[in-house]
Amino acid sequence: MKLAAHGLTIAKRLSEVSLQLEPGSITAICGPNGAGKSTLLEALAGLLAPVEGTVALDGISVQIMAPRERAQLLGYLPQAHEIAWDVPVRSLVELGRMPHGDSLAGPVDAALDALDIAHLAQRRAQSLSGGETARVLLARVLAGEPRWILADEPLAALDIAHQLALLRHLRRAADKGAGIVLVLHDLAHAMNHADRVIVLDGGKLAADGACENALDPQVIERVWKVPVRWIGEPGHRALVGG
């Protein structure tokens, strides 16, 4: 099930962005602040209606899909990690099953285990730390077993151990056929863990392709305005000042 955008334009935020995303892979969306990363992700999730262009799943516009059907296929994690209700963690994660009309224990338990939060299942949601909250909200998305996982800065509140554990889990999900799209600020994580990188700059597509091409030092200098170079071996690269 391919997810595609054609000529996507959202006033003052995106301009004529076209791309086709493949399931079974991890795509990172990168760019400086204000580049349009979150806007693109919201549009792909069907939460923003474009002024021009379309977003479609296998040729069907996400805008005309019934909300329940869209929620079954597209799991979206926003950048803001806010919990409105002080319910037990398990109850919050079970909300991810709402589009399916059930609260199956298997997917919920798997999501709790994947994010290393099973021990928090009976804790009240509003008593959690920032990092715990981030993992619980992502577990809610995973519990829905969507065909596509669209996550905005999912690593931001996590320590390095949980960042790497989450990236490993997302890789396993991609290997099983899910499409993963992540907004990432950490270019090293994008380089080492994504299959493809989309670079936005000023709402326009600045680069799109394999990590080593889209995050070439010349591209980074042009878009982020800083000279850099990569060191280390493929899969374990670090970015240093040029």
Q: How confident is the model at residue 187, as a pLDDT?
A: 97
pTM, whole model, 2 decimals? 0.94
Q: How far apart are the C-alpha atoms of 186 and 32, rounded to whole Å?
A: 11
Residue 103: the pLDDT is: 83
Identify the structural domains of the chain with CATH numbers, from first to last: 3-82+146-241 (3.40.50.300)
Distances (CA, A) of 100 to 65, 83, 92, 129: 15, 21, 15, 29
The reported pLDDT for the residue numbered 32 is 97
pLDDT of residue 85: 82
pLDDT at 160: 92
- Residue matched to tokens 């009309």: 101
Mean pLDDT for each consecutive 10-residue tract of the chain (242 residues)? Answer: 94 93 97 96 94 94 93 92 87 94 91 93 92 91 95 90 90 94 97 98 97 97 97 94 78
Contact between 203 and 175 under an 8 Å Cβ cutoff? The reply is no
One-letter amino acid of 209: G
Beta-bridged to residue 150, according to DSSP, are 76, 181
CA atoms within 13 A on the CB side of 128: 30
**Confidence at residue 105, expressed as pLDDT on a 0 to 100 scale:** 93
Q: Among 117, 119, 156, 110, which Cα is nearest to 136's?
A: 117
**pLDDT confidence of residue 170:** 92
